[in-house]
Amino acid sequence: MTTNTIDLRSDTVTRPTAEMRRVIAGAEVGDEVLGDDPTVRRLEEKFAALLGKPAACFVPTGTMANQTAIRAHTEHGDEIICSDGAHIIHYETGAPAALSGCMIRTIANPRGLFDVADVTPLVRQDAYHFPHSRLLTIENTHNRGGGTVWPLAQIERVTAEARKHKLKLHLDGARLWNASIASGVAMKDYARHFDTVSCCFSKGLGAPIGSAVAGDADSILRVQRFKKMFGGMTRQVGLLAAAAIYAMDHHVPRLAEDHANAKRLAELIANIPGLSIALAPVETNIVYFDIAQDVPLTGQQLSDKLKSQGVLMLATGLRRIRCVTHLDVTAPMIERAAQTIEQCVTGRVAIGV
């Protein structure tokens, strides 16, 4: 990969900024397992306050954040209700089954949203014949839905219905920062409807590693237990916690730039013959586009052609490609990426791009 490469595969590909590296180098550290890493404690307190929760736990990855929360709320044989496009199904290696022994009932919606009428029929009758309906999870923004932002009123309806059925509630908020910036809704206003909330520092915020789970004290104590069980306890991890604190302090408002860049990219792609924007409208920093059947390229073939021209994107289906904007992608890069896509698809350069 060269310095001229435009990497739109994910917002996880960012590299720490120079100032973030200085903060990492100067971080005060201790032994996390013994509870005396001051920077980790400071991050957890800061994150819990941001989400309006009593406690939080810093973990290495978004997968561990979700899976420790799931394990904290469930027992083997329980059932989880979620979108059929949920990250916990597609990108966490079967962990709900392997680590928590849970079944999953899914709700079909291409944008990852659902409502009361979708949830109620899926709650099991309380009888020993059936798994226990135990947990409802919502993903905001929804990755496979195209960076969808859940309307707060819809979250309020769905979670209120779930409470009637005594379900626990977990918010996979890996990109909740993006949802908050796009909607103007404070993160704690989303979070107050859930027992636990996970957020990722290494996606849109640009930290090298780390996520966190916030919730009530008892739930977070169980999260910490399963963090240890799943191998997530570390030692002088304050180096990474310092990067996460820096990201929270400096990289949240600028997410609006990523959203603007994603919308501009979608606009340009939509004007390229043979391509169409999937899962429109583009609300945050994720763009999916589809390749028409009469274009002699699969998603992977187009991805390979783009790579040869210094533009990286991910093929996520036979004729679908995903692009994600982030702090290492500038507005001029978006223009050049769109021009390269048009060259690869049509063999010509768009005028005025």
Cα 284 to Cα 23, 81, 198, 217, 247, distances in angstroms: 28, 25, 18, 32, 18
In this structure, are residues 297 and 164 in contact, taking their beta carbons and an 8 Å threshold?
Answer: no
pLDDT digits (tens, 9 = 90+) for 53-98: 999 999 999 999 999 999 999 999 999 999 999 999 999 999 999 9
Q: Could you read off the pLDDT of 260-277 as tens digits, one per residue?
A: 999 999 999 999 999 999
Tokens 């997968």: give the residue. Answer: 63
Are 280 and 147 in contact by the 8 Å Cβ rule? The answer is no
User: Given pLDDT bands bounded at 50, 70 and 90, which one contains residue 121?
Assistant: very high
- Measured over the CA atoms of residue 95, residue 130, residue 139 and residue 190, the dihedral's sign is negative
Strand partners, 277: 289
Average pLDDT, rounded, for the chain: 96
Which helix (H) or strand (E) segment holds residue 204: the answer is: none
Instruction: Give the pTM.
Output: 0.95
Burial of 126 from C-beta contacts in 10 A (0-12 / 13-18 / 19+): exposed
The residues, any chain, with a CB within 8 Å of residue 127's CB and separated by 6 or more, are: none
Superfamily of domain 6-12+254-346: Aspartate Aminotransferase, domain 1 (3.90.1150.10)
Asked if the 31-250 domain carries CATH number 3.40.640.10, the reply is yes
CATH topology match: 6-12+254-346 vs 31-250: no
Q: How far is CA 91 from the centre of its chain?
A: 11
Q: Do residues 210 and 40 make contact, with C-beta atoms less than 8 angstroms apart? A: no
- In this structure, are residues 135 and 170 in contact, taking their beta carbons and an 8 Å threshold? yes
Q: Give domain limits for the chain.
A: 6-12+254-346, 31-250
Residues 116 and 161 sit within 8 Å (Cβ to Cβ)? yes
Instruction: Give per-residue pLDDT as tens, 29-47.
Output: 999 999 999 999 999 999 9
Helix and strand counts by DSSP (H, E) for the chain: 14, 13
247 vs 340: CA distance, rounded Å: 31
What average pLDDT does range 233-258 have in this prediction? 97
- Residue 353, pLDDT > 50, answer no
Q: Strand, coil or helix: what is 41?
A: helix
**Distance, first Cα to last Cα, the chain:** 24
User: Is residue 351 very low, low, confident or very high in pLDDT (cuts 50, 70, 90)?
Assistant: very low
Average pLDDT over residues 147-156: 98
